[in-house]
Amino acid sequence: MDERVAIVTGASRGIGLAIARRLVKDGWRVGITARNAEPLEAAVAELGGPSYAVGVAGKADDPVHQASTVTATLGAFGRLDLLVNNAGINPVFGPLLDADLGAVRKVFDVNVFAVIGWVRQAYEGFLGRHGGAVVNVSSVAGLQPSPGLGAYAVSKAALIHLTRELSVELAPNVRVNAVAPAVIRTQFARALYEGREDEAADAYPLGRLGDPDDVAGAVAYLASPDAAWVTGQTLVVDGGLMQAAHL
């Protein structure tokens, strides 16, 4: 996969950075995004500098930022083979009926509507003419009720169905898949395990929480020629959690 190029959103840390790191290790070049410029610059340096990565700071749901990222990535590396929609937010906790509707709309703006914008920009900029792949980072919360995380869960369920819709609309030249992680040891998810990691891990048949590299490996597979006949699928990366839920 030498010289292939990807855009990974929300990639200054956590799952996004792990995905970018894995892709660079596999021979890719990457355009990465995040809201804040300073951690993004550090991520670019960690990935090997401008020969391997270009960073574009901005808000994931800003159409101007989306277009600028595609333009910058094409300008730096001359092509685009993969879009990884990893950026997501979860500012709402508690029952949906008690949630501020403005905050719920913001969750959908970033977790769902922004994905449509990113795919549109990538498709019009390169993928539509040359083919490639899209991988959306969803969540197991989108596959089953998740009390307290209702707005996030419903947005991730929408993202899974959006993946299926786009897989049909963009076929045969662009494959569209998703990954659905359970709790991953990141700053984003720390409220779900901080101070009780061993207790949280007990719920997983594989005996531990996930690491960002677990998700990165799944994304690398879906981006690779090994997944050339895979589209419209959601790969669950959960340490067996959902199987245990049915016991």
In a domain, 69, yes or no: yes
Contact between residue 130 and residue 82 where contact means Cβ atoms under 8 Å apart: no
Question: Token match 């340096």: residue?
Answer: 45
- In-domain check, residue 73: yes
Dihedral angle computed from the Cα positions of residues 29, 34, 37 and 41, in that order, rounded to the nearest 10 degrees: -30
Give residue 4's pLDDT: 97
**What number is the average pLDDT over the span 100-117?**
97
Q: Is the peptide bond before 172 cis (omega within 30 degrees of 0)?
A: yes
Judge whether 187 lies within some domain: no
Contact 173, 128 (CB under 8 A): yes
The residue type found at 159 is L
61 found inside a domain? yes
Take residue 39 and report the two structure tokens written for it. Answer: 């951690």
Place of tokens 């795919």: 119
Span 208-237, mean pLDDT?
97
CA atoms within 13 A on the CB side of 226: 8
Is 205 domain-assigned?
Answer: no
Mean pLDDT for 93-122 is 96
The per-residue pLDDT for range 116-147, each reduced to its tens digit, is 999 999 999 999 999 999 999 999 999 999 88
What is the number of structural domains in the chain? 1
Distance between CA atoms of residues 245 and 242, nearest Å: 5
Q: For the domain that residue 123 is a member of, what is the CATH number?
A: 3.40.50.720
CA distances from 127 to 80, 106, 211, 228 (A): 7, 28, 30, 15
Average pLDDT rounded to a whole number, residues 57-75 = 98
The C-alpha atoms of residue 21 and residue 28 are separated, in whole angstroms, by 9
Tens of pLDDT, residues 158-186: 999 999 999 999 999 999 999 999 989 87
Q: Is 152 a catalytic residue?
A: yes
Q: Residue 3: is its pLDDT beyond 90?
A: no
* Sequential DSSP letters for the chain: -TT-EEEESS-SSHHHHHHHHHHHHTT-EEEEEES-HHHHHHHHHHTTSTTTEEEEES-TT-HHHHHHHHHHHHHHHS---EEEE--------B-GGGS-HHHHHHHHIIIIIHHHHHHHHHIIIIIHHH-EEEEEE--GGGTS--TTBHHHHHHHHHHHHHHHHHHHHSTTTEEEEEEEE--BSSSTTGGGTTT-HHHHHTTSTTSS-B-HHHHHHHHHHHHSGGGTT--S-EEEESTTHHHHTT-
Per-residue pLDDT tens digits for 11-58:
999 999 999 999 999 999 999 999 999 999 999 999 999 999 999 999
Is residue 128 in a domain? yes
Specify if 234 maps to a domain: no
- Specify the pLDDT at position 193: 60
Is the residue at 144 inside a domain? yes
Q: Name 21's Cβ contacts closer than 8 Å, sequence gap at least 6.
A: 46, 47, 216
Range of the domain at 111: 5-179+213-229
Tell me the percentage of the chain whose pLDDT exceeds 70: 94
| pLDDT confidence band for 244 (50 / 70 / 90) | confident
Q: How confident is the model at residue 2 (pLDDT cuts 50, 70, 90)?
A: low
> Active-site residue among 52, 123, 152, 204?
152
